[in-house]
Chains A and B, each alone.
Chain A
């Protein structure tokens, strides 16, 4: 199974820090998993111009392809101006309309204020649903006070991250099984 951890901002450290915790949890618990970290800060991704994702070049194509090949995607996002960052929205714009069909997607949010709690619910989930993702409904919301010098200091967050990873993998496996047995029934 292929899992992509997508860190959706090119600036700041908290989302990436939280994604590193996610990755560690995945590799410890599921050593056979093929994991790719896509931290957008490491790539030079161009703005979407509407072409098919296969027709981009370089980093843009690489990032889009890795996501398209994944069975599960954990999206980490900060909150900028009461929404997801433009860099993350651009990833969605680069992909086909039904890009998350047959994929499980889960969400981790880092934010400066608890007042941003519903942003993932109201702004990110509708995009993912539109793109046909199977969502892990519960997401991890992490506030600034939960970090200290690139470490997460709140045990509750750590427990939540472990549960998020477990839910993502369990759901992805489940959906693969459902799909495979359903497809076998078609007999072609």
Chain B
């Protein structure tokens, strides 16, 4: 896990991620400016660091209701504003970017942050960026596979020789600057289906698995498929980290948590996905075996420990800010994580 800068002796890593969505708060019907949203994301990262959270990441979506299209720029501002928290993308859509430029950006963020940057590369669940950036949606898979391979190659080799279909060849090319320690952690973002997870396994890279809701055991199959695929290609799963990512919300009681969170998720998904989140499914979110980490602090601790027992994952990252969640609620959640959830999680998952 050294390559991924993960020390398992310290226990399960806890992170925060944002898609950088820019939606109105259903409670007030009002939407803050993009300027304020970006500043709040930077502030959110600072609070996370102060609470002892290990990781913070920002995603890119190139369409209406999002504000962090230039997620690397936002991350570099966070790099400057923080000192210890690890920083990543959630995710970087490598398919519609030039891997050389992406690497230059993240190597630079790694230098600004003094060795804290990571890339999580994904294929995009919202595909508006294909048209905006001039790519053909038909090449969805091939664009990702080719560019992701190149990204990994740039990370591993100081002098790159490469040619492919979607980019000019590289002949003895040096991609500079190099990150602080020569390379940075690169993960593959996976949408939760085993087929997608297997691709991360075959490539022998860490897996970032996003999940909406449902029983945690369903996602166990995805984790197993990933590790089996890695093993089949000669990689050692013990060296490959797994991160899980999903909705999180803590309040005094689970009922309170559902009440405060539901309108944000339901209205936000209506706008960004075109369909809300069924209340019946959401109500099941507080079940101890449901993968959504919603409930009282104690319930969430038990859920995360159960998930850790199931997946043996190295990092969990929480999405709290979706759908115009007001900043005071984010602050409150970070406080609960820092004072109650994190100490318990670390205590039970640390290996000495």
Report which of A51, A96, A102, A187 forms a contact with B137, defined as CB distance below 8 A: A51
From 263 to 302 in chain B, residues with beta carbon under 8 angstroms from any chain A beta carbon are 273-275, 278-280, 283
Residue of B nearest to A96 (CB): B275
A187 touches B127 (CB 8 A): no
| Residues from 44 to 100 in A contacting B, C-beta threshold 8 Å | 49-55, 68, 96, 98-99
C-beta contact mask, A174-188 vs B, less than 8 Å → 1, else 0? 000000001100111
Cross-chain contact A187 with B274 (CB below 8 angstroms): no
Q: B283 touches which one: A51, A96, A98, A186 (CB < 8 A)?
A: A186
What residues of A have a CB within 8 angstroms of the CB of B262 in the complex?
188
B274 x A188 contact (CB < 8 A): no
B255 interface residue, CB < 8 Å from A? yes
A101 to B279, CA, bound (A): 12
Candidates B63, B273, B278; contact of A101 at CB < 8 Å:
B278
- CB pair A49–B275 under 8 Å, yes or no, is no
Minimum CB distance partner of B263 in chain A: A188
Chain B residues with CB below 8 A from A54, complex form? 273-274
| A102 and B279 alpha carbons, distance in the complex (Å) | 12
Q: A55 to chain B: which residues have CB within 8 Å?
A: 63, 126-128
Secondary structure of the B contact surface, majority rule: helix
- CA gap between A182 and B278 in the complex, in Å: 12
Q: Are B259 and A51 in touch, CB under 8 angstroms?
A: no
Bound state CA distance, A99 and B274, in angstroms? 9
CA distance A105 to B138 in the complex (A): 32
Give the bracket for the number of chain B residues in contact with chain A: 10 to 19
A52 vs B124: C-alpha distance when bound (angstroms): 12
For residue A128, give the distance in angstroms from its CB to the closest CB of chain B.
16
Which of A51, A96, A187 has the most CB atoms of chain B within a 10 A radius of its CB?
A51
Q: How far is the CB of A118 from chain B (nearest CB, A)?
A: 31
Contact yes or no, A52 B258, CB < 8 A: no
- In the complex, what's the smallest C-beta–C-beta distance from A188 to chain B, in angstroms? 4
Q: A183-B279, A188-B258 are in contact. Are A52 and B137 (CB under 8 A)?
A: no
Name the A residues within 8 Å of B280 (CB-CB).
Answer: 182, 186
CB within 8 A of B255: which of A53, A68, A187? A187
User: CA–CA, A49 to B138, complex, Å?
Assistant: 8
Interface residues in A81-132 by Cβ distance below 8 A to B read: 96, 98-99, 101-102
User: A51-B127, A51-B137 in contact; A68/B275 too (CB < 8 A)?
Assistant: yes
Taking CB as reference atom, which chain B residue is nearest A101? B278
A56 to chain B, nearest CB (A): 11
Inside 8 A of A98's CB, which chain B residues have their CB? 275
| Residues of chain B lying within 8 A (CB to CB) of residue A53 | 274
* B126 with A49: CB separation less than 8 A: no
Which residues of B are found within 8 Å of A101, using beta-carbon distances?
275, 278
Within the assembled complex, what's the spacing in Å between the Cα atoms of A50 and B262?
Answer: 28
Closest chain A CB from B16 CB (angstroms): 23
Question: What are 11 A-B pairs with beta-carbon distances under 8 A?
Answer: A50-B137, A51-B137, A52-B274, A53-B274, A55-B63, A55-B128, A96-B273, A98-B275, A187-B255, A188-B262, A188-B279
Binding site for B on A (CB under 8 A): 49-55, 68, 96, 98-99, 101-102, 182-183, 186-188
Interface on B for A, CB 8 Å cutoff? 63, 126-128, 137-138, 255, 258-259, 262, 273-275, 278-280, 283
6 cross-chain pairs, A with B, having the tightest CB-CB distances, nearest first: A188-B259, A188-B258, A54-B274, A183-B279, A51-B127, A186-B283
